[in-house]
Amino acid sequence: DTAVSQTPKYLVTQMGNDKSIKCEQNLGHDTMYWYKQDSKKFLKIMFSYNNKELIINETVPNRFSPKSPDKAHLNLHINSLELGDSAVYFCASSQDWTDKDTQYFGPGTRLTVL
Amino acid sequence: QKEVEQDPGPLSVPEGAIVSLNCTYSNSAFQYFMWYRQYSRKGPELLMYTYSSGNKEDGRFTAQVDKSSKYISLFIRDSQPSDSATYLCAMSGTGGSYIPTFGRGTSLIVHP
């Protein structure tokens, strides 16, 4: 039973296109996150939602727009894709936004922009 | 200087060796310290979590935090080929935020 799932697993697309990545968690957690892991393996927080409300929005271009239709889902839409957007995007969840330890990560979406 | 520094490796050791993985950090306000393990093409999974200074042991894994030196370590005893993965340190707790700041990860290879 997958705790945090993401689709698609791989995404190859051309510059300038718009794409979405979906994330779902079945852990009953209140808080969900999007991270970006670049080619050097640095994992950086992009957004965090708590109970469908945006609580963290790091310095991310506004071409990236997260959407949380309910607390079990957090989708990421990216407009006008650029070469530098190529990375692995991880969704994660935690019990709530004050959870100090465990974040559960999804398997990642490997985005390649050509 | 990055907030969290971690040697990317790779670190290659024979099966059965004791492995020492380390991170240094610059922000003395960090209070919570974590180690995540990430297998190739998978998401990170939490391995160890420590609050403030001290040691914590879980099976073959021991996490150490030395806040005075701003240095954390993860020791793996009797390393196995299945321990081959990237190990990311992470820390949080500054300014009321619990979002972790990650190191870049150390790639560990345990060969039979």
- Please report residues of B whose CB lies closer than 8 A to that of A92: 43
Best residue in B36, B92, B99, B101 for a mutation probing chain A (most A CBs within 10 Å): B99
Checking if the pLDDT of A100 tops 80, the result is no
**B 60-79: CB under 8 A from A:** none
- Tokens, residue B51: 């609050």
Average pLDDT (A24-41) is 91
CA B3 – CA B60 distance, rounded (Å): 28
- Whether residues A108 and B92 touch (CB distance < 8 A) is answered with no
**A 55-114: CB under 8 A from B:** 56, 90, 92, 97-108, 110
Checking if the pLDDT of B36 tops 80, the result is yes
Query: What local confidence, expressed as pLDDT, does residue B73 receive?
Result: 97
Q: How far is CA A84 from CA A34, A39, A49, A66, in A?
A: 17, 10, 24, 18
Q: Which residues of A83-105 are buried (b: 16+ CB within 10 A; e: fewer)?
A: eebbbbbbbbbbbebeeebebbb
Checking if the pLDDT of A53 tops 70, the result is yes
Q: What is the pLDDT of residues B63-86, one digit of tens each?
A: 999 999 999 999 999 999 999 999
- Tokens, residue A39: 């080619």
**What is the separation of C-alpha B15 from the centre of its chain, rounded to a whole number of angstroms?**
19
Which of the four pLDDT bands, split at 50, 70 and 90, describes residue B51?
confident
Query: What local confidence, expressed as pLDDT, does residue A54 receive?
Result: 84
